[in-house]
Copies of this chain bind each other. A is one copy, B any other.
Amino acid sequence: MAIPLAELCTLLEGKLHGGAGQSVQSIAPLDRAGPGDLSFLANPRYAANLAATRATAVLLQAAQVAQCPVACIEVDNPYLAYARASALFDDRPVPNRQVHTTATVADSAKLGENVTIGPHCVVEEGAVIGADTVLGPNSVVGAGTVIGLRCRLAAGVVLYHGITLGDEVEVHSGSVIGADGFGFAPAPSGWQKIYQLGSVRIGNRVSIGANSTIDRGAISDTVIADGVIIDNLVQIAHNVVIGENTALAGCVGIAGSATIGANCTIGGGVGIAGHLTVCDNVHLTGMTLVSKSITEAGTYSSGTALSTTARWRKNAVRFLQLDALHRRVSRLEKRLD
């Protein structure tokens, strides 16, 4: 699929320098690109790769036009331009807009126009699937669950009963939405299950990776706002609320009833304790533990830095004596005063 540079330029609202009549058919980084490739210079760190690139065309900012040895499209934000351009090279299999004969669809389910329902899918009673939505093979949509327009569920996704998904939601394989929250009351005989009577409400343009889990609420709902992006193996417990456009990287775990603001970025492996609040515009570095609320926007961390294990062992032992060390230093200061 060859895409003329002129067409690309119009789409990206950029300015074409050279390359009249040329086309591109794939994307590659500057240093590995060859004829037919579109490339981009988004990070100044890679500016040195520009001079030698063999790409057919490069997306870049005005300041780099002069240094570019090949055709280029001048844009304000080359990384965003690359993201937009990438859609043109989408090579995923095209959904066939059919309900596969092996799918099990309840009579009371409502299917919008042009839905694709893959082999061995199960759509239970009263479920609603919006127009142009795609269910990959072996996916399950529980009773009464409502899916919006143009959603894309990959193979093996499970939505429990009574869940709501907005429009243009993407869910990758193995993710489970609406399982019971981890609610149990201690009883003399062991743990008494608390039936999870709430649901999960997911907004528009939410993206959910593979093998992530979003539990239904105990009483009220778990809520994921519009534009939230969630990576793989992320755990979102019951009654969590996540604000618009917040991003959660892989292996994040958020405990029950935590409220996360909008426009946050949560690094990989971060853990957020239950019943606390993280305000808007908070950024958490990888594997940080949040055990109290964060009320001011900013970047936060916990943990220690990497070292050799030999050195770490010594310091880790000393960590256990840290409070005592502080008191020793205070005593020294008093003696010297």
Q: Which residues of A contact B (CB under 8 A)?
A: 26-29, 32, 77, 79-80, 82-84, 86-87, 89-93, 100, 102, 104, 118-120, 122, 124-125, 136-138, 140, 142-143, 154-156, 158, 160-162, 170, 172-174, 176, 179-180, 182-187, 190-195, 197, 205, 207, 209-213, 215, 219-220, 226-227, 229, 231-233, 235, 237, 244-245, 247, 249-251, 253, 255, 268-269, 271, 273, 283, 285-292, 294, 298-323, 325-326, 328-329, 332-333, 335-336
List B contacts of A122 (CB < 8 A). Answer: 118-120, 137-138, 155
Whether A120 touches B104, Cβ cut-off 8 Å, given contacts A182-B249, A304-B303, A333-B328, is: yes
Say yes or no: A197 contacts B336, CB within 8 Å: no
Of residues A87, A182, A190, A237, which shows the largest number of chain B Cβ atoms within 10 Å of its Cβ?
Answer: A182
Say yes or no: A325 contacts B325, CB within 8 Å: yes
Say yes or no: B86 contacts A194, CB within 8 Å: yes
Distance in Å: Cβ of A135 to nearest Cβ of chain B? 12
Whether A197 touches B118, Cβ cut-off 8 Å, given contacts A207-B184, A229-B191, A247-B184, is: no
Distance in Å: Cβ of A197 to nearest Cβ of chain B? 5
Distance in Å: Cβ of A281 to nearest Cβ of chain B? 13
Closest B residue to A248 by CB, please name it: B182
From B118, B143, B187, B298, give the contact of A308 (CB < 8 A). B298
Copies of this chain in its oligomeric complex: 3
Distance in Å: Cβ of A116 to nearest Cβ of chain B? 13
Q: How far is the CA of A226 from the CA of B190 in the complex (A)?
A: 9
List B contacts of A312 (CB < 8 A). Answer: 285, 300-303
Say yes or no: A174 contacts B176, CB within 8 Å: yes
List B contacts of A172 (CB < 8 A). Answer: 176, 179-180
Whether A300 touches B308, Cβ cut-off 8 Å, given contacts A161-B92, A179-B173, A323-B318, is: yes
Distance in Å: Cβ of A317 to nearest Cβ of chain B? 7
From B118, B174, B180, B271, give the contact of A251 (CB < 8 A). B271
Say yes or no: B325 contacts A304, CB within 8 Å: no
Q: How far is the CA of A318 from the CA of B210 in the complex (A)?
A: 38
Whether A229 touches B184, Cβ cut-off 8 Å, given contacts A298-B308, A326-B318, A333-B328, is: yes
List B contacts of A229 (CB < 8 A). Answer: 182, 184, 191
Q: How far is the CA of A122 from the CA of B286 in the complex (A)?
A: 37
